Amino acid sequence: MNSEHELKQTGTVITDFFHTNQQEMSTIVDIAQLQKFLSEKLADSAEQKDYLENFNEVLLALLKGKLSEEVFLFYLEAQFFLDEAAAKQIFTHITRFQAFKENSLHDNLTFPQQSAPKVNVIITTYNRERFLEQVIDSILKQDYPNIELIIIDDNSQDGTSSLMEKKYASTSNVIYMRNNKNEGPGTNRLKAFVTHADGEYIFFLDDDDYLIDSNYISKAVHFHEQHPEVSFVAANVFLDKTNKSELKLSDLKLNTIVKKYDYFINFEKKGYPKPASTLTTVFKRSALIEMDIVNMKMVNDSAIYLRSLLVGDAGFLDTVAGVYRIHGNNITFNLKSDFIIENLNEKKTIKNMAVNDFNYNAKEVEDWFGNSVYVTVMYFLKYSAKNANDYFVMLNWTKENCRSIYKKMRYAALKFVIKRRLSRLRNLGRKAVVQKS
């Protein structure tokens, strides 16, 4: 059974379920009881088990006020191929539940044109015409009145330039830049920032992700205005697992304000996750300047977050704002060793800044640095390393720059290489047996 057919069947199961059980569900007052009822009743449909479990998570998020009506309708239509009328009917059923509270749906925030600070949205792109249009349109649909888009094209060889010329050339708040050679997303973010980004707030987007809450930038700017101590504001997303045709809710589960030192020292550890790329993250321009973005050699998401946490706290909106695609062409699965070395050197710079310029505790920062180096290198070895030279390059850098974890790294890398080679030998053995038979 193909995934589209299976998803459509799941949509039919959900639609029929709400129609059949509407009266019984409407009398349930407690959200936890309603969730239990749904899990038990829908569990009978084993074929669509994973999709139905995801639906229950999204419904619970709606009841708790973690996503808007617009986002919930998007989910139903995009995930289950429901038409607009069918999706709205399910939402109407839900609003009649006693467990549904009217105030759980946040009112849209509005900004008058004359008082709305400017937001620059920087989108780097390379050969992603089929995705680029969606992300640009998701920004143009935002109800915030003072947005300027800066699209920087890294010398794409597909139809990107034609798309920009035909569809967006006459759009007054869209700036299109095109490189004569490929320079990489980190360099391009900085180039776009230095050349055109003069707004009070900056939003970096990748070309394969997009927003689904048209009020999100208004919410983020309002949060900044209410909490001037934060460097950035981020939110939750759906993970689009394209190989499974699955939208999975990703909840950061972070407090509204996280103190800069706590988040920096514990960055990407349990309880302190990194937001999905910079998909939902609106940065304060003054914070980017203060953390010295113009002299960064690698403007990638982790580096921007870590530097920003030297100068301000982190803010989080407990709402679903966008879709982050996970597919085989994600940059994070196709990294080269020189890129990782640049990344590690940037983290070393951040370590020195934290201790020397911002008086962060030297021992705790060193521990953070060792953990960060270990995670970065092991991720590269697991997903992107191509040959023995990649391993030697990583180990040599670690020996020279982070000796405290060198032995641990060498042992882990050796163990990983052995496991990978054994796996290859087993696969070759299986192929030989098949060919022989």
Average pLDDT, the chain: 90
Number of Cβ atoms within 10 Å of the Cβ of 346: 20
Alpha helices in 96-197 (DSSP H): 129-140, 160-163, 185-196
Number of Cβ atoms within 10 Å of the Cβ of 316: 22
Q: What is the pLDDT of residue 27?
A: 87
Q: What is the pLDDT of residue 318?
A: 95
**Phi/psi class of residue 81: alpha, beta or left (left: φ > 0; alpha: ψ in -120 to 50)?**
left
Q: What is the pLDDT of residue 271?
A: 94
Cα atoms in the Cβ-side hemisphere of radius 13 Å centred on 284:
24
Least confident range from 12-16, 39-43, 234-238, 322-326: namely 39-43
CB 148 within 8 A of CB 119: yes
What are the tens digits of pLDDT across the range 199-228?
999 999 999 999 999 999 999 999 999 999
Cα–Cα distance, 162 to 218 (Å, whole number) = 31
> What whole-number percentage of the chain has pLDDT above 90?
63
Cα atoms in the Cβ-side hemisphere of radius 13 Å centred on 90:
25
- Per-residue pLDDT, averaged over 133-146, amounts to 97
Cα–Cα distance, 191 to 174 (Å, whole number) = 16
CB 235 within 8 A of CB 316: yes
- What burial letters (b/e) apply to 14-39, b meaning 16+ CB within 10 Å? bbebbeeeeeebbebeebeebbeebe
22 pLDDT higher than 90: no
Q: Which residues pair with 203 in a beta bridge?
A: 121, 282
Q: What is the pLDDT of residue 419?
A: 72
CB 308 within 8 A of CB 202: no
Q: What is the pLDDT of residue 200?
A: 98
34 pLDDT higher than 90: no
Strand 230-241 versus strand 313-326 pairing type: parallel
Least confident range from 68-72, 205-209, 297-301, 327-331: namely 327-331
CB 252 within 8 A of CB 180: no
Q: How confident is the model at residue 110 (pLDDT cuts 50, 70, 90)?
A: confident
Task: Give 323's contacts (C-beta < 8 A, 6+ positions apart).
Answer: 209, 210, 212, 237, 238, 239, 240, 247
- Per-residue pLDDT, averaged over 327-346, amounts to 76
Q: What is the pLDDT of residue 332?
A: 52
Q: Looking at per-residue confidence, does 109 or 399 come out higher?
A: 399
Cα–Cα distance, 272 to 35 (Å, whole number) = 27
Q: What is the pLDDT of residue 46?
A: 56
Q: What is the pLDDT of residue 381?
A: 83
CB 263 within 8 A of CB 287: no
Q: Which amino acid is at 380?
A: F
Whether this prediction's pTM lies above 0.85 is answered by: yes
Q: What is the pLDDT of residue 45?
A: 57
328 pLDDT higher than 70: no
- Per-residue pLDDT, averaged over 108-127, amounts to 91
Q: What is the pLDDT of residue 243?
A: 76
CB 350 within 8 A of CB 306: yes
416 pLDDT higher than 90: no
Q: How confident is the model at residue 123 (pLDDT cuts 50, 70, 90)?
A: very high
- What burial letters (b/e) apply to 51-90, b meaning 16+ CB within 10 Å? bbebbbebbbbbbeebbbeebbbbbbbbbbbbeeebbebb
- State the residue for tokens 């987007």: 205
Number of Cβ atoms within 10 Å of the Cβ of 224: 22
Q: What is the pLDDT of residue 399?
A: 93
What are the tens digits of pLDDT across the range 271-321?
999 998 899 999 999 999 999 999 998 898 999 999 999 999 999 999 999
How far from the centroid of its chain's Cα atoms is residue 267's Cα?
A: 15
Q: What is the pLDDT of residue 84?
A: 96
Least confident range from 32-36, 152-156, 328-332, 361-365: namely 328-332
103 pLDDT higher than 80: no
Q: What is the pLDDT of residue 275?
A: 94
CB 94 within 8 A of CB 100: yes
